[in-house]
Amino acid sequence: MNRFVDVAQGWLATCCWIGLTGLILPVPESSGVMAPKPSAAPPSNVLFIAIDDLNDWVGTLDTHPAARTPVLDRLAERGTTFLNAHCQAPLCNPSRSSVLLGLRPSTTGIYGLQPAMRAVKAWENHPTILQWFARHGYHTLAAGKVDHARFRGGSNPAGEVHETGPWGGPGEVFPATKHAGETPMGNNPWMDWGAHPHDETKKGDYQVAEWAAERLQTLPPGQPFFMALGFFLPHVPTYVTPEQLAAVPTEGVLPPVLADDRVDVPDFAWYLHWRLPEPRLRWMREHGQLQPYVRAYLASTTWIDGQIGRVLEALASAGFAENTLVVVWGDNGMHFGEKGVTGKNTLWERSTRVPLLVAGPGVARGGRVAVPVELLDLYPTLADLAGLQEDLPPLEGITLRPQLEDATTPRQRPALTTANPGNHAVRSERYRYIRYADGAEEFYDHLTDPHEWRNLAGDPAVAALMVDHRRWLPTRDAPHVADHGGRTLEYDPDTGIVKWEGEVVPAGSPVPE
């Protein structure tokens, strides 16, 4: 029997890598927007753009034949693209908390959708990257989904930034009924995708871009700025207009899927995405929804690319293009049927690899960095490029300045992604090693198996390689913080008891569909 089905010609997943172990860190004393410190060097502005659930389907990464992102492609030409960038958690809140605090989930104990980072006493005073720049005289602004919850609705608790704009989100574009129909595991109203006529100015992301463009024209003169924008799409609900959907091909858009892709995957892997609103591959196929979902995702990615273009045009017209560092990143990857699932919450390549582009002063043009890097590296990198690296708070990333100056510069460590305590993926240049909380393992050779279809764990030929990769696992897994929730997994190695979102999963339970 041929195991390889639905394989799109010419698709090869690019290798990705992820970073290192955590530390027990002291907490700085102050919170909120800090008093300015003088900076010796002329400062560069920062435009910091996060895109929700954007995987590596970006034109410049050449990973999907129908990906159309001309704005990001032009940004890549005038800056540096990281080909093997990875998130520290395959989920919004822990990923964004890690970026903003500069710390790993295995250090912070933030693994789920709740709580917000400032609700955790240990981190209520740790300066975010925005606060660090504010301390050094920057005017800080945030709009859209920058972190997971703090700036929604224009709120600015504890003075996190100087100004906030609209939260964004889906906006007022919902159809009368869901395009996808009733979806499994709760029929979440946001679990939908498709095309219908609507006014794009009602979309939250349009309003975020509009606010940013207007503020760029009226920023305080003579003061550097750090503007953070969070775009919601292509997160579900993924709504586009019929014209936008028509621009996406109907054929050749589905990713490669292996018929029995989980036959050599440990059963424990299911617990990472046990009961979620994202449908399984089987449901998507039975209801004819996989192609509509993929096409809507691609169309909305192109639309978001256009919103970024509006912001970059405003940046240029305001005279800031030459002295602004522009950073674009996705908070986690996405599955579209690979390993039998859609959505995120896994430790495989599809869920961890993200786009990361940097352009501006001190950044080589047209650079393409093949070594593994982490979103965790952004905090120390931007501080370094802005000359603000002195007396930084404890951070766990490593500056990317050497790679931004010369894309061939090597790095000495792989990348690390964590999905709840005890579950980690280590990505070296050639291999991916996964270890689950119960001790089960996976090992993939990306040189010969770019889609991670053959788990080599247990093969004596790779035993020494697995030992080498294990040494990069965190030396300490912080337990879940108090009041955690939203896609959280707990495992007791002494009893073997598994809890999903606080509820015990009886041994032998069938996988929820």
Instruction: Using pLDDT thresholds of 50, 70 and 90, give the confidence band for residue 150.
Output: low
Residue range(s) defining the domain that contains residue 121? 4-482
Tokens 């919004």 sit on residue: 92
261 pLDDT higher than 90: yes
Within-domain flag for 42: yes
Q: pLDDT, tens digit, for every residue of 346-358?
A: 999 999 999 999 9
Q: How confident is the model at residue 220 (pLDDT cuts 50, 70, 90)?
A: confident
pLDDT of residue 148 exceeding 80: no
Rounded distance between C-alpha atoms, residue 315 and residue 215, angstroms: 10
For residue 209, what is the enclosing H or E element?
A: helix 204-216
Q: DSSP letter at 371?
A: S
| HSE toward the beta carbon, residue 447, CA cutoff 13 A | 4
The amino acid occupying position 31 is: S
Q: 13-17, 225-229, 274-278, 482-486: which has the minimum mean pLDDT?
A: 13-17
* pLDDT at residue 43 in the model: 78
**Residue whose tokens read 């395009």:** 179
Is the pLDDT confidence value at 72 over 70? yes
Q: Does 219 reside within a domain?
A: yes
**237 vs 191: CA distance, rounded Å:** 6
Confidence at 13, pLDDT banded by 50, 70, 90: very low
- In this structure, is residue 497 part of a structural domain? no
Cα–Cα distance between 213 and 177 in angstroms, integer? 33
Instruction: Label residue 32 by pLDDT band (50, 70, 90).
Output: very low
By CB neighbour count within 10 A (0-12 exposed, 13-18 middle, 19+ buried), where does 287 fall? middle
Active site residues: 92, 148
In this structure, what are the phi and psi dihedrals at residue 491, rounded to the nearest 5 degrees? -135, 130
> Cα(259)–Cα(461) distance, rounded to whole angstroms?
26
In the chain, DSSP finds a helix count (H) and a strand count (E) of 12, 24
Query: What's the domain count of the chain?
Result: 1
Token code pair at residue 202: 């009602």
Contacts 24+ apart (CB under 8 A), 63-66: 63/11, 63/13, 63/14, 64/11, 64/253, 64/255, 64/298, 65/8, 65/10, 65/11, 65/252, 65/253, 66/248, 66/249, 66/252, 66/253, 66/298
pLDDT at 36: 47
> Domain for residue 488, yes or no?
no
* Cα–Cα distance measured from residue 490 to residue 421, given in angstroms and rounded to the nearest whole number: 7
Q: Tell me: the pLDDT tens digits for 36-53?
A: 444 444 579 999 999 999
Cα(424)–Cα(88) distance, rounded to whole angstroms?
10
Burial environment of residue 198 by CB neighbours within 10 A (0 to 12, 13 to 18, 19 or more): middle
Determine the Cα–Cα distance for residues 319 and 427; give it in Å rounded to an integer.
40
What does the pLDDT read at residue 12?
A: 30
Q: How far apart are CA 484 and CA 502, in angstroms?
A: 9
Model confidence at 10: pLDDT above 80: no
CA pseudo-torsion sign 231, 234, 235, 240: positive
What confidence score (pLDDT) does residue 16 get?
32
The C-alpha atoms of residue 438 and residue 290 are separated, in whole angstroms, by 32
Contacts for 470 with CB less than 8 Å, ≥ 6 apart: 426, 433, 435
Burial class (CB in 10 A: 0-12, 13-18, 19+), 186: exposed
Is 117 inside any structural domain?
yes
The answer to whether 442 and 465 are in contact (CB under 8 A) is no
Banded model confidence at residue 24, pLDDT cuts 50, 70, 90 = very low
- Got the DSSP string for 1-36? ---EESPPTT--PPP-------------S--SSPPP
504 assigned to some structural domain: no
CATH of the domain at 190: 3.40.720.10
Q: Which of 11, 14, 17 is nearest to 433 (CA)?
A: 17
Query: Which of 361, 279, 269 is closest to 324 using CA atoms?
Result: 361
In a domain, 513, yes or no: no
The structure tokens listed for 431 are 């291999």
Is the predicted pLDDT of residue 400 greater than 90, yes or no? yes
Question: Chain-centre distance of CA 30, in angstroms?
Answer: 28
User: What does the CA dihedral 107, 351, 20, 130 come to, rounded to 10 degrees?
Assistant: -60
Cα 252 → chain centroid: 26
d(CA 322, CA 441): 47
Nearest-5° angle of CA 247, CA 250, CA 251?
A: 130
The pTM of the full predicted model, rounded to 2 decimals, is: 0.92
Average model confidence (pLDDT) across the chain: 91
Q: Is the pLDDT of residue 399 over 90?
A: yes
Task: Confirm whether 82 is domain-assigned.
Answer: yes
